[in-house]
Amino acid sequence: MYTSAISNFAGNTIAMVLAGGKGERLSPITENRPKPYVPFGGKYKIIDFVLSNLFNSGIKRVYILTQYRAYSLNKHIQDSWAKWAGLGEFYDTISPETTNIGEEWFKGTADAIFQLMRVLESTDADYIAIFSGDHVYKMDIGQMISYHIINKADMTLAALEVSPAEATRFGIFTVDDNYQVTAFTEKPREPVTIPDRPTCFASMGNYIFSTQKLIEVLKAGRQYHADLDFGKHVIPMMIETGNRILAYNFMDNLLPRMGPGEKGYWKDVGTIDSYYEANMDLINVVPQLNLYNYRWPIITNQGNYPPSKTVFDEDGRRGQSLNSYTCGGCIISGSTVRRSILGPCCKINSYSLVEDSILFDNVEIGRHVKVKKAIIDAQIKIADGEEIGYNHEADRQKGYMVTDSGIVVVT
């Protein structure tokens, strides 16, 4: 496993992962689960990406702040990540009712951290990494910590280079020639570009703080804002009071055996269309996101599943998986799966066709079924003879959601 170049500092860091997101734009697949618990790439959950980045970077003291429909996410953490911690290491889930403030929901991103003030004031860590739990990417966080230390920053923000056209969807940093942040604007109509470059710096929602500085700014900000938020309140307040805030260019973050197309890869997957497209990229011959880099593995709870298999090999009834991901426990029985992702323990019965689709775990497709360009939620059984994705009006009449781009969502 690759070791961060600054692993001694990473070991003196604790992380807080904001994983309470409801993911309303991903509805209906987030109606019964938080966005960080949404499956991605068949076997993974979205939160596994940030937790893998922390683990691979040598940061193994991690608090995961959960909130919306937290049971499934908490169980995933306890069944997997919490079991891998060693002496002095932990992956601990914290919901609002377990904080020292009282049983009230987190009102803002910084308020969530403020409610863990007892942890901040008692830790021996010099640095706090605050990362979002609902994005898909790979990153050596030790390199960002090194940048924070070398440049003597009070706060360091992970920044994604985007075009001015894309910038209107993000929180955008204005920086000087030394990448010091001088302003922060949410979804600007006329975004400011990086000096001498045609691109803009967008916030990735990931921050490094020196511990004492974080305590200081949270206490100061909470006096005026009950819904204390990093973007709305903390960053502008720190700029006004002359703190040293630096943007860390994510394009400078390098991993061992990283392919040229993977550099700078980061996906919000915040809509059905973006989620579908990011998953479908995985089954390309050369995907942008390489899940086969064993020097920087994405880790998850593997489950005690048997291998996937195909059965029957006769004309008209041939089990085959083409250009697809099939997870453990899947059985493709006398049917065809093409350009699709099958989560654990799916079964595709004879004479059926599944194309350009994403199936969550334990989906069963009956006989003589045709599915095209669909997302099918976990535990669903599709009856014999059904067709999904071929007649969108009929799909809507069945209660399925159909996006403008023609993706059918079955929940």
Q: Give the position of tokens 């302003």.
A: 183
The rounded radius of gyration (Å) of the Cα atoms in the chain is: 22
Residue 216 near residue 234 (C-beta atoms within 8 A): no
Q: Which residues contact 180 (CB under 8 A, 6 or more apart)?
A: 244, 245, 246, 247
Calpha distance 154→148 (Å, rounded): 8
Residue 154 near residue 202 (C-beta atoms within 8 A): no
Calpha distance 355→288 (Å, rounded): 21
Strand 181-186 and strand 171-175: pairing? antiparallel
Residue 142 near residue 31 (C-beta atoms within 8 A): no
Q: How far is CA 41 from CA 175, 236, 374, in A?
A: 36, 37, 15
Looking at the DSSP bridge assignments, the partners of residue 65 are 18, 94
Has 187 been labeled as part of a binding site? yes
Helices (H) and strands (E) in the chain, counts: 11, 31
DSSP H helical ranges for 83-210:
109-114, 117-122, 141-150, 164-167
Has 221 been labeled as part of a binding site? no
Has 52 been labeled as part of a binding site? no
Q: Is 385 helix (H, G, I), strand (E, B) or coil?
A: coil
Strands (E), 142-213: 155-162, 171-175, 181-186, 200-210
Has 171 been labeled as part of a binding site? yes
Annotated binding site: 171, 186-187, 203
Residues placed in the known binding site for alpha-D-glucose 1-phosphate:
171, 186-187, 203
